[in-house]
Amino acid sequence: MNTQRVASIALMAIVTGIGCGGGRAQDAAARTEDAEQQAANVQLAETPETPVKAIRPAAASAATGGASLQGIVHWSGTAPTREKISMDADPVCQQQHAQAAYKEDVIVNNATLGNVLVYLKEGVSGSYSAPSTPVVLNQAGCMYKPHVAGIRVNQPLQIVNSDSTLHNINAKPTANRPFNVAQPVQGMKTDKTFTKPEVMVKFKCNVHPWMNAYLGVLEHPFFAVTGEDGSFTIAGVPDGTYVLEAWHEVYGAKTQNVTVSGGRVSPVEFTFSAQ
């Protein structure tokens, strides 16, 4: 199949798929990769690979030695009710969920808060090489996985479509270059990098408006994302005094000072509430 014909097929798939997802054609097509890039992507995807599982890049990339900074993010007050997602607009999405799907913006469990990025905002000295292993942002079940993650400056980001329906990845950074890439074929992969630190970069899908995710782009490896139990661990933190920030997409950011001395640091706690 020649490149021109493949590009035409890809663009037709984009226009057709947008209609069933409820998005506007001009939104999903805006600022997409050029036709040749789309054609190359489709050619690679003609034999889809096994869907790639998303990875959570937390302490795995941290420097060796130093202290293990552990903590928990608490929730104060009545737990908000998680909002149910309606996927009626796209049967491919709906059929992948035997049970109801819920938004991941606010996850409160036993008075703790999940999906909080915790990172050293100030005080880190020295330089740290970016890992060559990519962070994977997977679109599976018409949801971004993971919903919140950290990535290093110049570390590869691989975006995967594991669904048999059109997705478009609309990234909205301000310090880095925005992009909007369509992935109409299951198994397609798109590779990107961010060249500047930025907390946070929002991702959304114009075709499926409930889909969104956030990536924190950092120059160092000292970050983690809280699990559903609100806990986090940042490994290998050198001795020093730092500003530690906890960021949540709905409730904003909180900071506190932490000191690592002799490879030791006291447990850290943050508390968020709806007020």
What average pLDDT does range 147-160 have in this prediction? 98
How far apart, in whole angstroms, are the C-alpha atoms of residue 266 and residue 131?
A: 28
How far apart, in whole angstroms, are the C-alpha atoms of residue 149 and residue 171?
A: 14
Q: What is the pLDDT of residue 28?
A: 42
Q: What is the pLDDT of residue 64?
A: 53
Identify whether the C-beta of residue 71 lies closer than 8 Å to the C-beta of residue 268. yes
Find, among 29, 40, 48, the residue nearest to 7 by Cα: 40
Burial track 223-247 (b if 16+ CB lie within 10 A, e otherwise): bbbbbeebebebbbbbeeebebbbb
Q: What is the pLDDT of residues 200-238, one digit of tens each?
A: 999 999 999 999 999 999 999 999 999 999 999 999 999
Q: Which two tokens stand for residue 242?
A: 């730092």
Q: What is the DSSP letter of 10?
A: H
Pairing label, strands 189-192, 135-140: unpaired
Is pLDDT of 244 > 50? yes
Is 269 strand, coil or helix?
strand
Residues 6+ apart with CB under 8 A from 161: 139, 167, 183, 185, 186, 187, 188, 189
What average pLDDT does range 53-72 have in this prediction? 60
> Binning pLDDT at 50, 70 and 90, where does residue 65 land?
low
Mean pLDDT of the chain: 83
Stated as kind and residue range, the H or E segment containing 180 is strand 179-183
How far apart, in whole angstroms, are the C-alpha atoms of residue 82 and residue 258?
A: 33
Q: Which two tokens stand for residue 163?
A: 């669904």
Tokens 């369509």 sit at which residue?
182
Q: What total of structural domains would you count in the chain?
A: 1
- What's 173's domain CATH number? 2.60.40.420
- The answer to which of 39-48, 161-170, 198-207 has the lowest mean pLDDT is 39-48
Q: Helices 35-45 and 3-21 meet at what angle, rounded to 10? A: 90
Is pLDDT of 144 > 90? yes
Is pLDDT of 17 > 90? no
Q: Which domain holds residue 31?
A: 3-273
How far apart, in whole angstroms, are the C-alpha atoms of residue 185 and residue 261?
A: 52
Cis? peptide before 146, omega within 30° of 0: yes
How far apart, in whole angstroms, are the C-alpha atoms of residue 119 and residue 58?
A: 10
Is pLDDT of 193 > 80? yes
131 — phi, psi (to 5°)?
-65, 150
H helix intervals, the chain: 3-21, 25-29, 35-45, 91-94
Is pLDDT of 259 > 50? yes
- The answer to which of 38-42, 49-53, 192-196 has the lowest mean pLDDT is 49-53
